[in-house]
Structure 1
């Protein structure tokens, strides 16, 4: 059993008093367009896929018990606001929700929570970072945040990710093909031309929505080149990074 919400109350009590160190993973994403070919929930699908693979690696581990919290599928989402399907929340809503979840778990003796995020809008990432600092200041306990955009993580991922062309392109579409292939419109995917956009650089220049970035169909990169095999290989790298973060958090006093 790897999902926290599947436990009973006595099982939670056994979790916090047992000999294995519990680490709880919080998958985070957003509901927003990912081109005309990939699902709105792409980010949460990737985060959850990472968490499930990491939890499986810890099955039977003598020291650490990993469980997955219900995914937080809503994020700060403004760049795609002009496209159908967006459901975003404010920075304050996201901050309060993450803080409340982590504080309640800490109050129950389960302070080791690790945020696993695959929605990279700057305001969203900044809000998660602020939530981490808030929890730590109020609870006196460090929580984890696997921020894939940070250089030491990004440099282990694909060339498209490192180029900043990673919204619904080859990188993300490959991951969804590996996890939920039935949700990808592969006929549309194969017909899409490459859209070369360095998203971080364009955002730093002050461009504030996808059309302004040149993403007129809510994607960049090369989705036509996506494959399930590449997605599986990328998931392996992502899961290794998450496993490392879990081990590090488990060492916290």
Structure 2
């Protein structure tokens, strides 16, 4: 059993008192449009998928006990505000949630926490960086160069919102949530998000993403998603190892 919220209070006490060092994983995402084909919860699906896989991989580890916290599904997401389904919280709200949740856990003795995020809007990422630093917990920062270098070409290109990269990951875990007939009809949209943001554009429409996606979603496959999850899980397991040193 790897879900924190599935355990009883006495079971958690046993985890704290046990010989294996407890590490808690906090999946973070957002509710925002991911094209006409992928679910609003894409980012959280990816974060949760990483956490579940890392917990499974470390299930029999003699030194570490990994538990997955309930996901934090809301984030700072203004870029998709022109489309139905974008639900944003402010930077202070997100900051307070992360600091308060982590602080509540560390006060109980759960000192090793890794925040796992797959929503990369800059204000959201910067807020998580500040909040985790204040809370004294780890943050797996996938947009840092050393981590991004291990991911797919599309991810590194910056044209990866609801494109091949993200859609493949959802196909690997929740294929029924992808509108695959629509996905197959979508033409490539070669928008480099980093370049667009550097030009001062701050919403999907202004960036040239008229249907709230960029990249090549029609090329997405579950096989690529599984392969990418393997790499993401490697990165997360390494982060877990780091916090128990």
TM (norm. structure 1) is 0.96
Give the structure 2 partner of residue 171 of structure 1: 165
Give the structure 2 partner of residue 139 of structure 1: none
1:91-132 Cα offsets, whole Å, 9 max, x none, are 000000000011010100001110000000000000000101
Give the structure 2 partner of residue 89 of structure 1: 89
Q: How does 1:98-177 map to 2 (within 5 A)?
A: 98-136=98-136, 143-177=137-171
Does 2:174 correspond to 1:180? yes
Rounded to whole Å, the distance in 1 between the matches of 2:180 and 2:130 is 38
Give the structure 2 partner of residue 190 of structure 1: 184
**Secondary structure of the equivalent of 1:125?**
helix
Give the structure 2 partner of residue 14 of structure 1: 14
Is there any run of 5+ residues in structure 2 with no aligned partner, and where?
Answer: none
Does 2:75 correspond to 1:75? yes
Rounded to whole Å, the distance in 2 between the matches of 1:204 and 1:92 is 24
Does 2:211 correspond to 1:217? yes
Q: How does 1:225-244 map to 2 (within 5 A)?
A: 225-244=219-238
**Secondary structure of the equivalent of 1:97?**
helix
Alignment size in residue pairs: 245
Rounded to whole Å, the distance in 2 between the matches of 1:163 and 1:229 is 20
**Secondary structure of the equivalent of 1:23?**
strand
Rounded to whole Å, the distance in 1 between the matches of 2:6 and 2:244 is 22
Q: Which stretch of the first structure deviates more once superposed, 10-19 or 117-126? A: 10-19
